[in-house]
């Protein structure tokens, strides 16, 4: 009988100390994670070259920790780094409109096993008519939180216009 009580007490102590240690590890990990990070950017299922009348379907992903999405900007650059055009979205999901020159973005927030952290997966539909023909273009996406913290990613030569 004493042996059962002793084994039960040891088991409870082991599990409670393991939980406390696990909480400490989660909190430490959460502090180490960036507030916002875009980690991927690319074409959904299209290949170059594009016609000027095409719409590029671009996908992106990343994570947010202890924050909420803010605004999103997209910019096209020549391969020499000259800005060609940019598009501003008031939030990470916005329908095509005159304000966005018929470009759109949709973003899904995905729950994570990390505390206070969400992953996101987004899709952009971008009109290519603003890009001059016979050139390659770099796309840069800027994602911001509500408090203005920013992450950016670019893919050089992502789009080639016939």
pLDDT at 147: 94
Tens place of pLDDT per residue across the chain (162 aa): 555 554 555 555 455 554 455 666 666 666 778 899 999 999 988 999 999 999 999 999 999 999 999 999 999 999 889 999 999 999 999 999 999 999 999 999 999 887 789 999 999 999 999 999 989 999 999 999 999 999 999 999 999 999
Quickly list DSSP for the chain.
-HHHHHHHHHHHHHHHHHHHHHHHHHHHHHHHS-SEEEEEEEESS--S-B-TT-EEEEEEEEEEESS-EEEEEEEEEETTS-EEEEEEESSSSB---TTTTT-EEEEEEEE-SSTTEEEEEEEEEEE-TTSPSSEEEEEEEEEEETT--EEEEEEEEEEEE-
pLDDT at 3: 57
pTM (predicted TM-score): 0.82
Q: Clarify whether residues 8 and 75 are in a common domain.
A: no
Q: Clarify whether residues 46 and 115 are in a common domain.
A: yes
Q: Clarify whether residues 94 and 140 are in a common domain.
A: yes
Number of folded domains in the chain? 2
CATH code (residue 132):
2.60.40.10
Q: Clarify whether residues 53 and 14 are in a common domain.
A: no
pLDDT at 7: 59
Residue 69 lies in domain: 35-161
Q: Clarify whether residues 13 and 49 are in a common domain.
A: no
pLDDT at 115: 78
pLDDT at 134: 87
Q: Clarify whether residues 26 and 104 are in a common domain.
A: no
């Amino acid at each position: 009988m004493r042996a059962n009580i002793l084994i039960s007490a040891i088991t409870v102590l082991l599990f409670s100390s393991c939980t406390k240690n696990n909480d400490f590890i989660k909190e430490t990990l959460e502090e180490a994670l960036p507030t916002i990070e875009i980690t991927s950017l690319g074409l959904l299922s299209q290949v170059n070259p594009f016609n000027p009348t095409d719409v590029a379907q671009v996908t992106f992903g990343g994570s947010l920790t202890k924050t909420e999405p803010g605004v999103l900007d997209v910019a096209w650059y020549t391969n020499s780094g000259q800005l060609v055009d940019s598009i501003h979205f008031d939030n990470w999901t916005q329908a095509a409109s005159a304000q966005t020159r018929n470009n759109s973005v949709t973003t899904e927030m995905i729950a994570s096993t990390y505390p206070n952290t969400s992953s996101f997966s987004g899709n952009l539909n971008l009109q290519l008519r603003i890009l001059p023909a016979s050139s390659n273009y770099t796309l840069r996406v800027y994602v911001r939180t509500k408090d203005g913290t920013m992450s950016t990613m670019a893919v050089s030569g992502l789009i080639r216009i016939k």
